[in-house]
């Protein structure tokens, strides 16, 4: 009874906070949280902790969640933005636990530090869907994401072919304390392993961020008179590298490859001819809501839901890209 009362008070507080000044996802929501509109008749409250809203891909994930949830009046989603701060994200999950939400969706910043709090929720009986970046171990209800190793490997193979088996490559990595960063790297290494002529001459951790990628690329350009290709772990990284190359007057000599493939970002860059390939990394927002609903209705979800991915190139983009082989 006490728990129920707490939950109702918490929801009411968030609705009030939400009414005061949100809801454009491009702005920082008031008090770092924002409540989906349809709340009043909601039977279930879902707490969603997003690692940051500074990157277009994450804004898209929240929009996908919101759009999917709007179809179900029995759902209310409370969005929280961790602003790329691991401690803040831990606190958000803890708040969801003490409020007794019915289900938690978390898209973690980093694997290790988020693992204990996700496990705590799971052990208290609150189902947790981990989206996109993994936590460690298996104390969560369901993981949803695409296969980053496979994407990295497909990118590696595509690059070998594009370079005709020979060339100098810069690798701009996503945050290496995250599993997608690690997997996009190891998959790539796997994909180029038989091509001894493809040489990685410079690698740096740009932590998923365009300004960092630009700076790292400036260093690479200063050190190496010949760079044939940039493999960036996400499209903002590829775009940052492109801008650095453009400022140095070398963008026409370099091929840019990235990952995410959002229509308004990677796909647009491919259409503009600024990037040669973007590998899709679906947000999984819709799947998270649908799976969440099944769990709330007492069904058992698969522990692991793997989303499919496409590659977009100039040749295939008008036809909707090409699915990666299984
Ligand atoms: C956004 C992002 C995406 C990337 C994903 C990996 O924060 O960097 O660009 O694909 O996270 O977790």
CA of 276 to the centre of ligand 1 (A): 19
Q: How confident is the model at residue 27 (pLDDT cuts 50, 70, 90)?
A: very low
User: Is the CATH code 3.90.1150.10 the one for domain 148-281+313-323?
Assistant: no
Q: Which of 50, 58, 175 should be mutated for ligand 1, with most atoms under 8 A from CB?
A: 58
pLDDT of 187 strictly over 80: yes
pLDDT tens, 61-117?
999 999 999 999 999 999 999 999 999 999 999 999 999 999 999 999 999 999 999
- What is the CATH topology of the domain spanning 36-140? Rossmann fold (3.40.50)
pLDDT of 25 strictly over 60: no
Whole-number Å distance between alpha carbons of 261 and 309: 9
Query: What pLDDT shows up at residue 41?
Result: 73
Which residues fall within 8 angstroms of residue 100, CB to CB, at 6 or more apart? 3, 4, 6, 7, 10, 126
pLDDT of 16 strictly over 70: no
Residue 54: how many other CB atoms lie within 10 Å: 16
Number of the ligand 1 atom closest to the C-alpha atom of 56 = 1
Backbone φ/ψ region at 256: left (φ over 0), alpha (ψ -120 to 50), beta: beta
Query: What pLDDT shows up at residue 42?
Result: 86
Would you state the structure tokens that stand for residue 211, as one six-digit string? Answer: 């300004």
Sheet holding 255-260, edge to edge: 197-205, 166-173, 229-232, 255-260, 277-280, 310-313, 322-323
Q: Which of 50, 62, 180, 205 should be mutated for ligand 1, with most atoms under 8 A from CB?
A: 180
Among 7-11, 29-33, 109-113, 232-236, the minimum mean pLDDT is found in 29-33
CA of 130 to the centre of ligand 1 (A): 14
Q: How confident is the model at residue 326 (pLDDT cuts 50, 70, 90)?
A: confident
Q: Which long-range contacts (CB under 8 A, 24 or more apart) does 252-255 make?
A: 253/227, 253/228, 254/227, 254/228, 254/229, 254/230, 255/162, 255/163, 255/228, 255/229, 255/230
pLDDT of 22 strictly over 70: no
Q: Which residue has 């204990």 as its token pair?
A: 116
Number of the ligand 1 atom closest to the C-alpha atom of 281 = 10
Whole-number Å distance between alpha carbons of 251 and 16: 49
Question: What are the angstrom distances between the C-alpha of 152 and each of 169, 183, 248, 283?
Answer: 14, 7, 28, 17
CA of 145 to the centre of ligand 1 (A): 11
Query: What pLDDT shows up at residue 37?
Result: 46
Q: How confident is the model at residue 10 (pLDDT cuts 50, 70, 90)?
A: low
CA of 84 to the centre of ligand 1 (A): 11
What mean pLDDT do residues 132-154 have? 98
Backbone φ/ψ region at 84: left (φ over 0), alpha (ψ -120 to 50), beta: left
Q: Which of 49, 53, 55 should be mutated for ligand 1, with most atoms under 8 A from CB?
A: 55
Q: How confident is the model at residue 4 (pLDDT cuts 50, 70, 90)?
A: low
In this structure, the residues whose C-beta lies within 6 A of any atom of ligand 1 are 55, 57-58, 132-133, 174, 178, 180, 208, 234, 259-260, 281
CA of 198 to the centre of ligand 1 (A): 26
For the chain, the C-alpha Rg in angstroms (whole number) is 21
Three-state SS string over the chain comes to CHHHHHHHHHHHHHHHHHHHHCCCCCCCCHHHEEECHHHHHCCEEEEEEECCCCCHHHHHHHHHHHHHHCCCCCEEEEEEECCCCHHHHHHHHHHHHHHCCCEEEEECCCHHHHHHHHHHHHHCCCCEEEECCCCCCCCCCEEEEECHHHHHHHHHHHHHHHCCCEEEEEEEECCCCCHHHHHHHHHHHHHHCCCCEEEEEEEEECCCCHHHHHHHHHHHHHHCCCCCEEEECCHHHHHHHHHHHHHCCCHHHCEEEEEECCCCCHHHHHHHCCCCEEEECCCCHHHHHHHHHHHHCCCCCCCEEEECCEEEECCCHHHCCEECCC
CA of 275 to the centre of ligand 1 (A): 18
pLDDT tens, 271-310?
999 999 999 999 999 999 999 999 999 999 999 999 999 9
Domain with CATH 3.40.50.2300 in the chain: 36-140, 148-281+313-323
CA of 234 to the centre of ligand 1 (A): 7
pLDDT of 26 strictly over 70: no
Whole-number Å distance between alpha carbons of 49 and 152: 26
CA of 46 to the centre of ligand 1 (A): 22
Mean pLDDT for the chain overall? 91
Q: Which of 132, 205, 207, 280 should be mutated for ligand 1, with most atoms under 8 A from CB?
A: 132
Would you state the structure tokens that stand for residue 163, as one six-digit string? Answer: 């370079």
């Amino acid at each position: 009874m006490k728990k129920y009362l707490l939950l109702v008070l918490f929801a009411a507080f968030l609705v009030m906070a939400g009414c005061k000044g949100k809801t454009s996802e491009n702005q920082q929501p008031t008090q770092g949280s924002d409540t989906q509109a349809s709340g009043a008749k909601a039977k279930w409250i879902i707490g969603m902790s997003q690692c940051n809203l500074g990157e277009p891909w994450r804004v898209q994930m929240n929009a996908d969640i919101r759009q999917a949830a709007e179809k179900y009046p029995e759902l209310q989603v409370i969005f929280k933005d961790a602003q790329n701060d691991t401690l803040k994200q831990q606190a958000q999950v803890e708040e969801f636990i003490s409020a007794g939400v019915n289900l938690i969706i978390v898209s973690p910043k980093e694997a290790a530090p988020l693992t204990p709090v996700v496990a705590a929720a799971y052990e208290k009986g609150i189902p947790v869907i981990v989206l996109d970046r993994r936590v460690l171990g298996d104390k969560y209800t369901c993981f949803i994401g695409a296969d980053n190793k496979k994407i990295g490997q497909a990118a590696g193979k595509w690059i070998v072919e594009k370079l005709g088996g020979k060339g100098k490559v810069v690798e701009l990595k996503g945050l290496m304390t995250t599993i997608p960063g690690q997997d996009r790297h190891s998959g790539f290494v796997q994909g180029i392993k038989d091509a001894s002529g493809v040489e990685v001459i410079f690698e740096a951790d740009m932590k998923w961020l365009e300004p960092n990628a630009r700076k790292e690329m400036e260093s690479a350009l200063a050190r190496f008179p010949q760079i044939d290709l940039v493999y960036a772990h996400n499209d903002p990284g590829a775009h940052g590298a492109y801008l650095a190359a453009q400022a140095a007057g070398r963008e026409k000599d370099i091929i840019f490859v990235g990952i995410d493939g959002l229509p308004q970002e990677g796909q647009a860059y491919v259409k503009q001819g600024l990037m040669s390939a973007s590998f899709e990394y679906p947000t999984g927002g819709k799947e998270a809501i649908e799976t969440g609903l099944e769990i709330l209705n007492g069904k058992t979800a698969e522990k692991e839901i793997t989303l499919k991915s496409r590659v977009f190139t100039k040749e295939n983009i008008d036809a909707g890209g090409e699915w990666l082989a299984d």
